[in-house]
Structure 1
């Protein structure tokens, strides 16, 4: 059987358990980040979706080793990657750990997805009813950008082919050009370091309202967090650049802070965050 899906078709927004048995929708992988939402960039991110025969297949092992080499580049390109096999989550978890892979491995044990898109392999004996090794490159909306039939290994995408696919998708983003970030509304949230060059300004010196609260959480990987205001208003978003200083700044959850409030088109954000001793 060969998939009926074609380039520009809509890939189904399937939901499958990952290697930790957490239900995962494809649209959750491609949606825009919290920072993007506050900046007004709602395009989301592309997804490379790879169907595997399984851990036992030497061709799959080779493709996965290539993707392990590629995963750091995907991270800085804000592209997403996921694999799907019919193995249970525990098997996927072991395979993933052995590869040192950091992307989700989804489990289609019931074969519902591989049947839905018509890629069930019925030719094998010992390892029957596996997925045919297809790779789909999906746009943020899950529209198909490219399809690779990997029955023979040469049919699987090279890293350079994937780069070209991703470049084509990313170039269409509203924020692909420098000018999108050099916008006053964006600079209020993602604050240029030069604003702290001559020292930390007093809260309120900018004319913005000042509030106090405590750090609800801060994600060091993404550089974003939330502040719980003392006045019990909704939590307020912040980017690490809202903490005066140079380089990459972090802050611990629970720390008491004073900050300025920016009311933007896409919600409240904090700037000039200063720890209260």
Structure 2
């Protein structure tokens, strides 16, 4: 029984519980990050979607061990991976911890998705009604780029095959080429370091509006945050490059700041963020 899905079909945007029993929608895994949204790069991230028979299958275990080796590379390639099985969340959680995996493990205990895409295995005697081990590589829109039938292990994708799939998808992104970041509108938000080579000018010296406020939050991992304005205006997005200086700069939530405001096509952003003593 082969899946009813084909390359270029739209994969169902399902909502399933993860290993922590929290509901996850597939499209939420592929949507663009906050920085990309403000820069206008709306494509999002590719997704490797792996269906497993379960923790007990030695072939599944081997495939998952390979993916654990691959997960650090996926992170720097802005790609995501998720696994789906008929096991309950607590079983998936134990399997995930044992593997040292860091991606979501989703549960389709009712087999609703597995039946919908026609990959329910009804041939096994000991472990019946499990998903056939398919791997789908999805574009950020959840459109199918590649399908791998892993009934025999040799049919499952190698890491090199996944690299080729991801490269083909990433090459379609508007920001795949260096030149995309040379656009003046992009450089107002993702500010080149040489902008601050001679120190930071007085806020507003270049004619931009100036506001005061506090750092509402800052994510050290992604380098983005939000500023709360003291005049009760809308929050203002910022990238760490809006903080004058060299190297990777951080700022603490709650810090009082003064900053310039850029009004862009995708919202307000800050530059020349300076602490108020």
TM-score by length of 1: 0.98
Paired with 1:110 and 1:256, the residues of 2 have a C-alpha distance of 51
1:211-230 equivalence runs, <5 A = 211-230=211-230
The match for 1:84 is 84
Aligned to 1:52: 52
The aligned counterpart of 1:18 is: 18
- SS of alignment partner, residue 189 of structure 1: coil
Moved more, 23-32 or 183-192: 23-32
Match of 1:262 in 2: 262
Whole-angstrom CA distance in 2 between matches of 1:131 and 1:186: 44
Which position in structure 1 is the counterpart of 2:238? 238
Moved >6 Å (runs of 4+): none
Equivalent position of 1:72 in the other structure: 72
> Which string of whole-angstrom CA distances, capped at 9 and with x for unpartnered residues, describes residues 49-107 of structure 1?
00011111111111111111111111111111111011111111111111111111111
- Indicate the RMSD between aligned Cα atoms, in angstroms: 0.9
* Structure 2 counterpart SS, 1:181: helix
Superposed CA deviations along residues 183-203 of structure 1, whole A, max 9, x for unmatched, are 000000000011111112221
Q: How many residues align?
A: 277
Structure-to-structure mapping, 1:1-277, within 5 angstroms: 1-277=1-277
Paired with 1:47 and 1:267, the residues of 2 have a C-alpha distance of 27
Structure 2 CA distance for aligned equivalents of residues 247 and 64 of structure 1: 36
Q: Deviations over 1:235-261 (max 9, x none)?
A: 111111111111111111111111110
* Cα separation, 1, equivalents of 2:90 and 2:220: 28
Q: Distance in 2 between matches of 1:273 and 1:143?
A: 40
Distance in 1 (CA, whole Å) between partners of 2:24 and 2:142 is: 14
- In structure 1, C-alpha distance between the alignment counterparts of 2:239 and 2:191, rounded to whole Å: 8
> How many angstroms apart in 1 are the aligned matches of 2:225 and 2:185?
19
1:110-137 CA-partner distances (Å, limit 9, x unpaired): 1101001011111223321111100000
* In structure 2, distance between residues paired with 1:175 and 1:149: 32
**Structure 2: distance between partners of 1:251 and 1:98:** 36
Listed as ranges, the gaps of 5+ residues in structure 1 are none
TM-score, normalised relative to structure 2: 0.98
Structure 1 distance, partners of 2:230, 2:155, is 58
- SS of structure 2 residue aligned to 1:226: strand
- Distance in 1 of aligned mates of 2:98 and 2:194: 44
CA–CA distance in structure 1, aligned partners of residues 201 and 140 of structure 2: 40
1: distance between equivalents of 2:17 and 2:28?
A: 13
